Structures are given as C-alpha cells and as structure tokens.
Homo-oligomer: A and B are copies of this chain.
Amino acid sequence: MTSVLRFEPDAEGDPTKLAYTFGGFEPLVSVRPGTTVSTWTLDCFAGRVRSTADLPSQVCDPRFLNPQTGPFFVEGAEPGDTLVVHFHSITPRGGRGVSSTVPMFGALTTTPFTALLHPPLPERTWVYEIDLQAGVVTYDALDSPHQIDLPLDPMHGTVGVAPALGEVRSALAPGDWGGNMDTPEMRAGTTCYLGVNVPGALFSLGDGHARQGEGETCGVAVECAMDTVLTIDLIKGGPPTPWPRLEDDAFIMTTGSARPLEDAFRIAHTEMVRWVAELTGLSDMDAYQLVSQAALTPIAQVVDTSYTVVTKVEKRFLGSPTVMQGMHARWRA
C-alpha cells in the first residue's frame, strides 16, 4: 500500500453535496483498480443527532438521511465485472456514537409496510461514549442509571454500486447492488465483492456503526462518522456476482436481501451452494448437503426496505481454495 488516494467529501455543513441514492449521482472521483483510498463518511443522520435531546424526526430532513461518500468511478469497470472492496481500517471519527428509535421504523413496531393501527412507539435518542483505546462503546440507559460497556466493532452499514435496469435506489434500501445491508461482517479485514451494473460501477459507502447487534432490531445501530481506508479493485469478467459476497480470513460469505426474511435466506443459501460447487467441484446436490451441515447464518437486519441474511462457510471446510482470484489474500497482506 505505497500510495493512498485521499478523498475528502465536500460534506461539512452542506448535506446536499453528498449522495443519498445508489445510482442517480455523478461520480465525484475516478480511481484505477488497485487504488487504496483514505476517506471518511458522515453518520446516517448527517451528524444532526448529537444529544439525547435530538430526536431524528425533529432534527433530520427525510430527504437527506444516510449520506454516502462517493460515487467513485472505477476505471474499466463494465457490467458483468466484479468490484472488489477491501477494508483496511474503519475507525470512529469522534468520541461518540448515537442511536435512537425512529417513529414507524424498526423490527418491533408498526411501519409503513407492516402497517397496523397502533400509534408509533416513543422516539428516544441514546448517546454512546466510544473509547478507541479500550475498544469499547458505553451504553447509557435513559430511564435508569445503567451503564454497560460493549465491545467496539466498527463496520459500514451501507456499501454498494449503481443498480441495474436504470434504477436509482435510496441509500436506505439494500438489494443486489449492495446498499444498506447493515451486516456487522462489513468490518476491517473483510473484502466485499459486488457485481458491476453500469460503466464505472459507481461505488459509494457510508452508514458507519461503532457496533450493531444482529438484526439491528430498533433500526438504528451505534451510528458514527468513520475514517476508513479501503482498496478498490476489479475482477474483469469471470463468473458473475449476482448478490454481494464477503470474505475474511476464515470465511466466505454470501448475502441475500429480500422480504419475507425466508427469501433473503433462500438467496444467500442458493448463492452459497453454487459458490461452494464452483470452488470445490462438488455437484450441486453434494454442495447443498455440505452447506446444510457447515453454514453459519446470522441475520443482518430486519428493519430496512428489504431484510438481509448472511451465510458463512469456513474456507478450511472447502480445502482453502483460491477465492475470487486471491483478491482477499492480496489486499489483506
């Protein structure tokens, strides 16, 4: 990593200078495959929720939620290629993160889609102190004096490219273009693979979380601005990447984002069965059997416009094959 491109989003004070959709924004910078980028991202509230007195519905403009840094134009990327994004580091920018309940949003409340006759749950904001040295974020209850240290585990909730079919999708939505997948697996040391739908791929990222539970139950993680160093690379041609995939030192991972949640599961698992078959030479039925006994399947989130499931298989169970032309190993080194 001898040279690093610094990309400074023109974001302080002017939320209209950031991207709020995947697709629909002109690229701000062009990068050659293999470029390492140092940049930063705003939190999902564009920094407007700062204290327990700040309620999202009062301080945020719904048109400017979940701002993304980018889009990056990746030189040479064409539909059918696979974009490679390796995260070297993801570091909370400030000493604090925030979370909140948001009216009609979350897994355990009536929403615009699971539309019921209940009034919304209460809107509340929690502030977490972040201690980078100790590696903890501190939960501070609102209604009683409890404080609890939870492990710091920074990640990006939103990582994606422009969608296919000319669509432009809100940064609040996840799908086959990536987007708001909200999986804790998107941490430093992980490589993300995304199918390219448009020339240049138009990659963006945002929605940093100091940590997040699996399911992101109330809809909001420990949100914070992030300093992030990542490498953007490209695999030309090859088997397509229909849904986002991840790889870390131990696991290959597939994702599916859909409703109902079992469809997200089905996507992630059919993707894994086919990927395992491709990596090992197993027949589809043999791969189906192996995945059935070997997979870990954490739920990522059940709160966004589609729900996300992750499926993980240890690479050692597959004979530690070369995955995606060795991209993870190369950039991890």
Q: Give me the interface of A with B, judged by CB distance under 8 Å.
A: 20-21, 23-24, 62-63, 99, 101, 107-110, 112-119, 121-122, 124, 126, 137, 139, 141-144, 146, 148, 150, 165-170, 172, 211-222, 242, 256, 258-263, 265-267, 269-271, 273, 280-286, 288-299, 302, 307, 309, 311, 317-319
Asked whether, in the complex, the Cβ of A296 is within 8 Å of the Cβ of B265, the reply is no
The distance from the CB of A223 to the nearest CB of chain B, in whole angstroms, is 11
Known: A21-B166, A169-B167, A266-B114. A285 touches B143 (CB 8 A): yes
Interface centre among A119, A283, A318 (most CB of B within 10 A): A283
The distance from the CB of A275 to the nearest CB of chain B, in whole angstroms, is 13
Name 6 A/B residue pairs within 8 A (Cβ), A-sorted. A20-B166, A108-B270, A115-B256, A150-B293, A214-B298, A297-B298
Asked whether, in the complex, the Cβ of A99 is within 8 Å of the Cβ of B144, the reply is no
Asked whether, in the complex, the Cβ of B270 is within 8 Å of the Cβ of A148, the reply is no
What are the 5 tightest A-B residue pairs by CB atom distance, in nearest-first order? A260-B260, A261-B261, A168-B168, A143-B283, A214-B297
CA distance A293 to B124 in the complex (A): 15
CA distance A271 to B115 in the complex (A): 9
Asked whether, in the complex, the Cβ of B165 is within 8 Å of the Cβ of A167, the reply is no
The distance from the CB of A71 to the nearest CB of chain B, in whole angstroms, is 14
The distance from the CB of A171 to the nearest CB of chain B, in whole angstroms, is 9
Say which residue of B62, B263, B291, B298 sits within 8 Å of A217 (CB atoms): B291
